[in-house]
Structure formats: structure tokens, C-alpha cells
Amino acid sequence: METLLLGLRRFRGRHSDKNIAKIVVSVINLYKIADKISCFVLDNVILNNICVEEILRQLNIDNLVEYRRLRCLGHIINFGAKAFLFGQNLDVFVKEVIVADNINDELKALKIWRVKNSINKFYNVVVYIRRTP
């Protein structure tokens, strides 16, 4: 398995499904590789379903998005790890920690981490060790 960057295009305008598809299709057409594409590996944003559908339509590929779009394993593992570590309210948790960090209230930030679970308590120990001589 090899990775090769075929094109890095300037993107103007909204990151809409049709705009993204237009740029991807232009690169595919430039290299004449439409017949070699088997699937698209993308993150879990729902916009990507519509984007892949649009690419398939523009390239006249008669197939369902479900057969041509794969989820990125790295993103899936990242989401699973965050759910395991932080629970369901990750956004609220992150905002609380950022506010505590912004006002330089280290004790408040450590308390916010401490209530989560034992792994986060371990994080407090690591932070303490790294901040002390």
C-alpha cells in the first residue's frame, strides 16, 4: 500500500459537498483515473456522504455511496477513545477545562479532570510531575 498526493488545489468558497466534489473530480479527470477508483476513505462528517455521491454522479459511476465510502479507522478509534475517557459530554468538559486554563486556575482544571475517572486522575499526576522540578 502506498500513498501519493496527486493534487493540492486552492479551495475558494464554502466547503460544501459540491465544491469539494468539483475539486476532487478535476484531479481525477486530470490523471484519467476514474476507472481505477474503488473507494473513498474519509472522516465521519455526514457531508462526505453527499460529496462522494456527487463525485460518483459527476464521474458517471453507477454505484451506491455505501459501497464506495469507507470511514477512517483513525477517526473511529479517536472517537471511541474520547467516549471512553470523557463520556458523552466532551464539548462541555473541554470548555470547562479551557476556561480554567485561561484564567490560570490550575486547581480548578485538575478538579474538573479528577471527577471524570481513574485515567483522568492519572493525568493529574502526570501534569503535576511535569510542572514540578
The answer for residues whose C-beta is within 8 angstroms of residue 1's C-beta and 6 or more apart is: none
* pTM, to two decimals: 0.60
pLDDT of residue 124: 66
Task: Supply the range of the domain harboring residue 24.
Answer: 17-71
Q: 55 and 21: one domain?
A: yes
* Distance separating alpha carbons of residues 40 and 9, to the nearest angstrom: 18
For residue 35, being part of any structural domain is answered with yes
For residue 27, being part of any structural domain is answered with yes
Q: Is the pLDDT of residue 37 over 80?
A: yes
Crossing angle, helix 90-102 and helix 73-86, to 10 degrees? Answer: 70
pLDDT digits (tens, 9 = 90+) for 77-98: 877 777 776 667 777 777 777 7
pLDDT of residue 107: 74
* Distance separating alpha carbons of residues 48 and 44, to the nearest angstrom: 7
For residue 36, being part of any structural domain is answered with yes
